[in-house]
């Protein structure tokens, strides 16, 4: 079977990226499946109008991996569908497919001189990580409640990844615990710690070892809490756990690829934001792990509450190791979509990370594998927006409205987390600066209804794993 792969106009390359190859693979495989193909063959060739261009994403290994990942995305089957067993006698005639194809073949012909076996292995490892992220992020709030996510991870992640979990203890994580307070036993939250050690201290100079600390927002369902989401906007809030899902998916990639020179410490805050007699309300004051008094003025700003104490814990660990990099990943704000549009992640760095060029490094790494990021900047207004004019508390959990509107909506939550976690004591002009990056994936986690993207797994892999595994473009500012 031959599927036409029409050349694109040269003008499109002003803004085109890896997504050109990936989208072609996705659309063509979708067509193949729809017409009944069970063993599609993906024939990869160069884009005819790109012969004189020198974009990094047009390098043979990058281009082939792009197409493979696009094809595999099209073949993903949701977890609930894979697990579903329709009872005999059901009058529903909708077919259930536990898999969309028996085999996926690919061939690059004479156009690309690439190691087919190695690229196939890399694509499979990355797709396995994306599958885990899609399973967790895309499944409904009961199938992937906090308890069920822990059970799922214990089955999926094996040595060398370590998985431990604990309740959302108010003494350790007071801001997250206040959100979890409104849940019944079935929806009780968990904090999951994931550890990957890619090298022992005896094998490598500790100064060359990167310690990556990832904190993922895992709000299994967001009703808005007492500030209830109304008017139909609560639908799709099962996707509010995609940040934690991406962190878990990246650990699946680490589990399979076992990179050296890298230690990764992951924390998932798995909490449901419920409404009920025990739910937290606006006007409550709670003291963070770092000792900062926070007054709640919006219970629907629960994501930052869930992550802040986990970020504080990561900060405490980061101060004891070499080359620490802190990161929070969350479907945090609708504002990032209003700012940049669907499909784009907003990256916000603190001063030390900005000085290292982390925002540009992540943007470049993501662009190679189709995860597109835009860079935002923290300003003093973001910090000021959360300050209080009272003696009772130090911070508001949601930025004050200016002229009746909330401005800088995806930047100011980062300022809140920096202050409430105590990271403001580790900025550029301090004795021990810590580089911290936030990724808001609210508009890049995928369409709903539809399949989650797993963002930013490919960005993290492109930055920290693939340069070691193969000849891979790696930009460092």
Are 294 and 286 within 8 A, CB to CB? yes
Q: Is 347 exposed, middle or buried (0-12, 13-18, 19+ CB in 10 A)?
A: buried
Q: Which residue intervals of 261-350 are DSSP H helices?
A: 302-318, 335-340
Catalytic residue (choose from 229, 293, 387, 475):
229
**Can you tell me the distance from the alpha carbon of 272 to that of 147, in angstroms, rounded to the nearest whole number?**
11
Are 278 and 194 within 8 A, CB to CB? no
Catalytic residue (choose from 263, 272, 304, 354):
304
Bridging pattern class, strands 293-295 and 395-396: parallel
Bridging pattern class, strands 262-273 and 210-222: parallel
Q: How far is CA 297 from CA 3, 395, 442, in A?
A: 55, 10, 22
- Sign of the CA dihedral running 138, 142, 144, 145: positive
Q: How far is CA 430 from CA 290, 425, 435, in A?
A: 17, 7, 12
Q: Is the peptide bond before 160 cis (omega within 30 degrees of 0)?
A: yes
Whether residue 304 lies in the annotated active site: yes
Q: Can you read off the two tokens belonging to residue 387?
A: 């300050």
CA angle 433, 436, 441 (to 5 degrees): 175
3-class SS at 82?
helix
**Can you tell me the distance from the alpha carbon of 342 to that of 319, in angstroms, rounded to the nearest whole number?**
36
Active site members: 229, 304
């Amino acid at each position: 079977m031959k599927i036409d792969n029409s050349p694109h106009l040269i003008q499109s390359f002003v803004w085109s990226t890896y997504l050109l190859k990936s989208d072609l693979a996705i659309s063509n495989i979708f067509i193949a499946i729809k017409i009944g193909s069970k063993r599609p063959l993906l024939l990869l060739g160069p884009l005819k109008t790109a012969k004189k261009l020198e974009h990094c994403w047009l390098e043979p290994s990058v281009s082939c991996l792009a197409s493979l990942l696009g094809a595999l995305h099209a073949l993903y089957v949701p977890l609930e569908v894979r697990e579903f067993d329709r009872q005999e006698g059901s009058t529903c005639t909708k077919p259930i497919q536990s898999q969309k194809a028996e085999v996926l073949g690919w061939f690059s012909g004479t156009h690309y001189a690439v190691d087919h076996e190695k690229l196939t292995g890399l694509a499979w490892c990355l797709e396995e990580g994306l599958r885990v992220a899609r399973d967790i992020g895309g499944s409904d709030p009961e199938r992937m409640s906090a308890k069920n996510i822990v059970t799922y991870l214990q089955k999926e992640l094996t040595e060398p990844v370590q998985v431990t979990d604990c309740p959302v203890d108010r003494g350790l994580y007071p801001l997250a615990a206040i959100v979890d307070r409104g849940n019944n036993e079935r929806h009780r939250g968990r904090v999951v710690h994931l550890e990957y050690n890619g090298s022992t201290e005896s094998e490598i100079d500790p100064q060359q070892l990167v310690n990556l600390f990832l904190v993922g927002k895992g709000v299994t369902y967001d009703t808005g809490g007492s500030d209830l989401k109304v008017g139909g906007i609560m639908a799709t809030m099962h996707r509010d756990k995609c940040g934690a899902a991406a962190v878990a998916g990246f650990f699946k990639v680490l589990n399979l690829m076992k990179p050296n020179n890298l230690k990764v410490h992951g924390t998932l805050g798995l909490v449901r934001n419920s409404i009920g007699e025990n739910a937290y309300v606006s006007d409550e004051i709670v003291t963070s792990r770092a000792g900062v008094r926070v007054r709640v003025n919006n219970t629907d700003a629960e994501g930052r509450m869930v992550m802040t104490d986990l970020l504080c814990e990561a900060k405490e660990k980061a101060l004891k190791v070499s080359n620490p990099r802190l990161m929070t990943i969350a479907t945090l704000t609708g504002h990032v979509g209003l700012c940049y549009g669907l499909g784009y992640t907003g990256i916000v760095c603190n001063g030390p990370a900005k000085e290292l060029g982390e925002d540009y490094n992540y943007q470049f790494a993501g662009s190679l594998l189709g995860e597109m990021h835009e860079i935002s900047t923290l300003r003093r207004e973001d910090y000021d927006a959360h300050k209080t004019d009272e003696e009772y508390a130090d911070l508001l959990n949601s930025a004050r409205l200016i002229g009746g509107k909330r401005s800088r909506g995806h930047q100011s939550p980062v300022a809140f987390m920096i202050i409430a976690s105590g990271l403001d004591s580790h900025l550029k002009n301090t004795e021990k600066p810590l580089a911290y990056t936030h990724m808001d994936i609210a508009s890049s986690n995928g369409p709903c209804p539809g399949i989650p993207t797993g963002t930013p797994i490919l960005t993290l892999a492109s930055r920290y794993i693939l340069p070691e595994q193969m000849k891979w473009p790696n930009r460092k500012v």
